[in-house]
Homo-oligomer: A and B are copies of this chain.
């Protein structure tokens, strides 16, 4: 091992091979759910250095755990406890390499923080639409390795849909120069999309070329109160038909979820306190503020008249818009104040959401009386964070320890019956590996194992993740 450490120090410089002191920033995930011990934390500063690190590890038969901003939720980016794995942090590779205005593309390195990518685009008067709660610390490479979702997927798709090309270091330490600003390129198999979402198990993403878009002239936000989930789905249909691509956000929040934000963040606005379901709509308009408001008011007027919506408010200013989004984004923090709960990141077809929620709510309440459902999420994408909290008065840690498996089985079985996914945007990592093995079709698993064996025959890239 000391020979390997020597090679790593020559590859990246001794200052960037950390083996002593408090390495918990890299060895532990931010929610402190997993804690490992690395042989070394290695911080290369260039693609060539990443390649040299991978070659040295491959020669020594040592496993590599790639890491971006360490904001993952499924334990995909921390080393195991053996002290034998190299933690490869991409954080020093944080340059925006190029912005091509006429081509509407941006090329940045994997360690570039998402917010920095957004800012670099905005400085050119352009939009990089990927947006999620961790954007102040998560990195572009991590976003791509996990195919991150977030709040703008309805209009712009996941990280995958925003990516045109990648630069990747393979398990052999070769560099695939797949950066591309092309919208069309049908020359062989789609390696790009295979690396995207593979959670560092097939190669190490070192840079990417991403799509940009013109900045909208105005963005408006509204809240609408709906009596049922079916009404929320009907409102989505109406909003799509009237606003088209201008509909950039459609988030649904259950009453209990908003009661929690009101309890723990009393300073936040709560304009529709009686609503059973509250929908946050965002409209991004290419023309101007007046046109944006007109379109929004037309939509909400029609929805009120049809009875789809019981009440609605439109933000009067940018500050009000931000406050409404802040309510939505505070739900995870508010529920954390109530103690640990059982989190789900599931998706079903939008058409199946009303039946899924009704059936699964009833089944959970029948089997676990008094259980509290914190249901919110990206309704426009069919993606719900359908979280389950211990019954009032019951110790939440005890409830989790006793019931998490049974709750998960009930929820994931319901998801499967409705043609859904047990991991919509958070990925597999360590947390959902057993679910993947149990729930994915054997044909798919066999194809995936074939790809892993072809790309990483030594099994050194992020072992124990995904497969």
Interface string of A131-170 (1 = CB under 8 A from B): 0000000000000001101000110011011000000001
Interface-central residue, A181, A351, A447, A454, by most chain B CB under 10 Å:
A447
Q: Which of A233-253 contact B (CB under 8 A)?
A: 233, 236-237, 240-246
Q: Which of A2-20 contact B (CB under 8 A)?
A: none
Known: A244-B245, A453-B454. A186 touches B427 (CB 8 A): yes
Assess the A450–B455 pair: CB atoms within 8 A: yes
CA distance A149 to B242 in the complex (A): 27
Interface-central residue, A188, A425, A441, by most chain B CB under 10 Å:
A188
CA distance A197 to B193 in the complex (A): 12
List the B side residues contacting A371 at CB < 8 Å. none
Q: What's the minimum C-beta distance from A317 to chain B, rounded to whole angstroms?
A: 23
Q: What's the minimum C-beta distance from A94 to chain B, rounded to whole angstroms?
A: 23
CA distance A177 to B439 in the complex (A): 13
> Any chain B CB within 8 A of the CB of A347?
yes
> Any chain B CB within 8 A of the CB of A282?
no
B-contacting 9-mer, from A28-36, A302-310, A415-423: A415-423
> Any chain B CB within 8 A of the CB of A340?
no
Known: A161-B161, A188-B466, A351-B103. A447 touches B443 (CB 8 A): no
Chain B residue nearest to A284 (CB atoms) is: B244
List the B side residues contacting A447 at CB < 8 Å. 170, 176, 189, 191, 454-455
Q: Which of A182-234 contact B (CB under 8 A)?
A: 182-191, 193-194, 196-198, 202, 213-214, 216, 233
Chain B residue nearest to A214 (CB atoms) is: B241
> Any chain B CB within 8 A of the CB of A180?
yes
Interface string of A269-286 (1 = CB under 8 A from B): 000000000000000001
> Any chain B CB within 8 A of the CB of A426?
yes
> Any chain B CB within 8 A of the CB of A463?
no
> Any chain B CB within 8 A of the CB of A448?
yes
> Any chain B CB within 8 A of the CB of A332?
no
Chain A interface residues toward B at CB < 8 A: 100-105, 146-147, 149, 153-154, 157-158, 160-161, 170, 174-178, 180-191, 193-194, 196-198, 202, 213-214, 216, 233, 236-237, 240-246, 286-287, 295, 347-352, 378, 381-383, 419-428, 432, 436, 439-441, 443-448, 450-455, 466-467
